[in-house]
Copies of this chain bind each other. A is one copy, B any other.
Amino acid sequence: MSAIPETIPRRGGAREARRAARSAELPDHLKPVRPGMNGGRYKPLSEADVLKIHHAALDALETIGFADAPQSGIDAMVKMGAKLTDSGRLLFPRALVEDTVANAARHFVLHGQDPKYDMEPWGDKVYFGTAGAAVHMVDAKTGAYRESTTQDLYNIARVVDTLEHLHFYQRSVVCRDLPLPEEMDFNTTYACVSGTTKHVGASWVAPEHLEQSLKMLHMIAGGEDKWRERPFVSQSNCFVVPPMKFAFDACKCLEVAVRGGMPVLLLSAGQAGATAPASLAAALVQETAECLAGLVYVNAIKPKAPAMFGTWCFVSDLRTGAMSGGSPEQALLSAASAQISRYYDLTGGTASGMTDSKVPDAQCGMERAYNHALVGNAGANLIYESAGMMASLMGFSLESLLIDNDLIGAVQRTIRGIEVTDESISLDTMRQVCLEGPGHYLGSDQTLQLMQRDYIYPTLGDRSSPNQWEERGRPSLVDRASTKLEGILSTHYPTHIPQHIDEAIRAQFPVRLPREAMRAG
């Protein structure tokens, strides 16, 4: 066969028309993709499967329950109907869990500092963002790993701020230049919210650190009431130490977030074969049970407080016990978890795209892509860890972040799907081309109309021919990303926080990012 049509006429007229068509900027609603595309066409689980997992999770909560709840949580949850056993485990009767799900907050907006980045992550809508917490930055060209810093965290925020297909920024790297936990927690939040106006996710190791950050967030919002109207930072909270134990400090942070009007990502990060069962179905049961327990906790502290159902079940390479973020089993677990949160009509958050590769190579590309294609098309509402993460979350690559933006755009295009309408399947164009026209569709009205609305183009991906690529000196993808990255880092310094607010923050709190690091030099 000849795979490439050999004789496509290349008439100047059609070319000119295409050139004119693509020079016109499209309004947002006509772009090929937009934030919050509707997924759900991939269903790894049947409806019966989801129900089985749900019932097994209720059984686990009722008969195994949780160890290690803090006294404040025990008091609140027992009041709602939980039962404390003699051995100190908290059991959750079915009715308590079912009532909690029925009455929990749903369909709440996750705000950006800029309202144009507000997200509505419910139903089948899909948003992609970063997460963490890598401890290294990766040199994409050499593969060298070095410790990550506050400056890196801020730089990643600035880059995410410019990328069309990254919809939120959860802190990606740990500020290893700040060994004091209270400084690290505060500066993590500061660097993120200074670097982007998109919704931010962060985490805190102690409740008093969160209280300090909330004070800063009130200042940025223009007062506590304004913050509570549009909270633009959510808390990523590992309230559970899988299997089935509460994490004391995280639970205390959870209580502060709930009372402070901050949405909470209830993050159950078990690892199948290590801290969760090796059976993928049983791992989903445990994840579901754990997130439901977190939901009970949140609603016991404050009914209808906004919480995301964070079923982040990781995968072990069972030969070594180490995490394998890029595995196909990971894609299945994350995609299935989207169906489970959808069953509860809760905002679901999960992880996807966590390659095991150390550099942005073909392994990285493929592992991210089969995960994103399936998790995105399953309709996960909030897809964390989706860009830049290397080595199963151990490192972060800025070049990969740019490359992954292309990938997410492409995956969003697949989520959008194919519109089959009377207009889109009309035979008029085919009839004209075959019976009257030039015998091809290159310059047809339909082609010109659809070339920007229905087709997405990569910003870094190269579609030139081998000859054209050769003539340009065989530029590598990483080099192309690196060039683009330098342009962003040297020019994009967000200024949405007014200088007097920033000065007031610096006067009151231990900001460690120098002002000169936050403007063009």
* A327→B273 contact, CB < 8 A: no
Q: Which of A74-82, A314-322, A483-491 contacts B (4 or more CB under 8 A)?
A: A314-322
| CB of A7, distance to nearest CB on chain B (Å) | 9
Task: Give 4 A-B pairs besides A336-B418, A367-B410 with Cβ atoms closer than 8 angstroms.
Answer: A48-B420, A243-B433, A329-B413, A364-B365
- Asked if A465 meets B394 with Cβ closer than 8 Å, knowing A8-B321, A321-B8, A366-B365, the reply is yes
Return chain B residues, CB-CB under 8 Å to A45.
418, 420
A508 at the interface (CB under 8 A from B): no
Return chain B residues, CB-CB under 8 Å to A178.
none
A104 at the interface (CB under 8 A from B): no
* B274→A8 contact, CB < 8 A: yes
- Asked if A362 meets B413 with Cβ closer than 8 Å, knowing A331-B373, A372-B370, the reply is no
Q: How far is the CA of A441 from the CA of B321 in the complex (A)?
A: 10
- Asked if A374 meets B470 with Cβ closer than 8 Å, knowing A18-B319, A276-B441, A425-B281, the reply is no
Q: How far is the CA of A282 from the CA of B49 in the complex (A)?
A: 36
Return chain B residues, CB-CB under 8 Å to A143.
469-470, 474
A195 at the interface (CB under 8 A from B): no
Q: How far is the CA of A136 from the CA of B4 in the complex (A)?
A: 14
Q: How far is the CA of A277 from the CA of B443 in the complex (A)?
A: 11
A431 at the interface (CB under 8 A from B): yes
Return chain B residues, CB-CB under 8 Å to A418.
44-45, 49, 280-281, 284, 332-333, 336
* A-B interface, 9 closest residue pairs, ranked by CB to CB distance from nearest: A365-B365, A369-B369, A362-B365, A365-B366, A318-B451, A328-B413, A366-B369, A49-B420, A281-B424
Closest-by-CB residue of B relative to A376 is: B370
Residue interface bits A142-179, CB-to-B below 8 A is 1, else 0 = 11010000000000000000000000000000000000
A499 at the interface (CB under 8 A from B): no
| CB of A112, distance to nearest CB on chain B (Å) | 21
* This chain: copies in complex: 2
A500 at the interface (CB under 8 A from B): no
Residue interface bits A444-467, CB-to-B below 8 A is 1, else 0 = 101100110011111011110110
A278 at the interface (CB under 8 A from B): yes
A236 at the interface (CB under 8 A from B): yes
Residue interface bits A234-259, CB-to-B below 8 A is 1, else 0 = 00111000111000000000000000
A361 at the interface (CB under 8 A from B): yes
Closest-by-CB residue of B relative to A323 is: B4
Q: Which of A59-67, A92-100, A219-227, A300-308 contacts B (4 or more CB under 8 A)?
A: A59-67
Q: Which of A120-128, A291-299, A352-360, A510-518 contacts B (4 or more CB under 8 A)?
A: A352-360
* A362→B477 contact, CB < 8 A: yes
* A42→B321 contact, CB < 8 A: no
- Asked if A356 meets B463 with Cβ closer than 8 Å, knowing A362-B364, A477-B361, the reply is yes
